[in-house]
Amino acid sequence: MAELVLDRLRELQEADLELRRLEQKKASHDRTVRVRADQIRKHQEHIQALKNTQRGARMEADRKELDIKQKRAEIEKLRAQQMQIKDNRQFQVLQNEIKFAELAISKIEDDILSDLGDLETLAADIRHAEEELGRFQQDLDALRREADARKDDVDQEIARCRAKREAIAKGLPPRVVDQFTRIADRLDGEALAPVIRDADDPDGGIVCGGCHMSIIQNTYVRLAGRSDDLCTCPNCTRILYLEDA
């Protein structure tokens, strides 16, 4: 009886592992699309940040242009005042104010030239980033088409594998299936493990093939004797079997 149950459990584990592999494959396709979509979103945010910087730089350049206009108007006003003044000291005071205004204009014009260079660099960065975004979007569209094309095939494989697993499980006692499922869920589907000889033990001790912890000899005797009880590893709780079981 135990021999038959172990044989069926090994079949159940094979089906369960295949089902898990297929589900991971499907999740991997979805995850790849999500990762690429997230990359595109971050790239779009980067482009928007560049555009915000560009907009701010343009506003600053416009403000400086307005400052220049205001200072030139101020210079014209000072020169008009000079035409009406006959006192040399007052004339010189106005002349100094004009020079300060002209120096300020010169400084602002230098700043504007620097700003224009920055704007050109920003514009080039934005063009490059938008070209990259176009390529990223094309890649994402291709990935989505590929994922959609594979999804149906994988879904069909999953359905077949799940049906096979359920058919095997129906041929086993419910308590055994529950025990298997609990262990499989905890150990990524590896609910069973063979009992193997410990290559490092000169006395030929036996270990669990899953966690490689020592197994008492009595467990081997029970398995070899086809005991009706399932034997589990005291360390990892996997259900044990002999390779020739």
What is the residue-wise DSSP string for 129-171? HHHHHHHHHHHHHHHHHHHHHHHHHHHHHHHHHHHHHHHHHHT
Report how far residue 41's alpha carbon sits from residue 39's, in angstroms, rounded to the nearest whole number. 5
Give CA separation, 63 vs 68, 69, 77, in Å.
9, 10, 21
Residues of the chain above pLDDT 70, percent: 97
Q: Is 240 helix (H, G, I), strand (E, B) or coil?
A: strand
Q: Does residue 1 register a pLDDT over 60?
A: no
Helices and strands (H and E) in the chain: how many? 4, 4
CA–CA distance, 66 with 85 (Å, rounded to integer): 29
Q: Give the phi and the psi of residue 232 in degrees, each rounded to 5.
A: -120, 155
Domains annotated on the chain, with CATH: 8-172 (1.10.287.1490), 178-241 (no CATH)
The whole-angstrom distance between residue 131's C-alpha and the CA centroid of its chain comes to: 22
pLDDT for 226: 66
Question: 203-235 burial, b if ≥16 CB within 10 A, otherwise e?
Answer: eeebbbbbeeeebeeebbebbeeeeeebbbbee
CA 216 to chain centre: 46
Residues with Cβ within 8 Å of residue 155, at least 6 apart in sequence:
26
Whether residue 178 has pLDDT greater than 60: yes
Please give the average per-residue pLDDT across 174-188, as a whole number. 94
pLDDT score of 152: 79
- Between these two residues, 90 and 200, which has the higher pLDDT value? 90
At 191, phi and psi to the nearest 5?
-85, -20
Half-sphere exposure of 219 (CA within 13 A, CB side): 21
Whole-angstrom distance, CA of residue 22 vs CA of residue 227? 35
pLDDT at 245: 43
Q: Report pLDDT digits (tens) over 30-71.
A: 888 888 899 999 999 999 999 999 999 999 999 999 999 999
Instruction: Kindly report the average pLDDT of the chain as a whole number.
Output: 89
Q: What is the pLDDT of residue 149?
A: 77
| Whole-number pLDDT of residue 2 | 58
Residue 25's pLDDT is 84
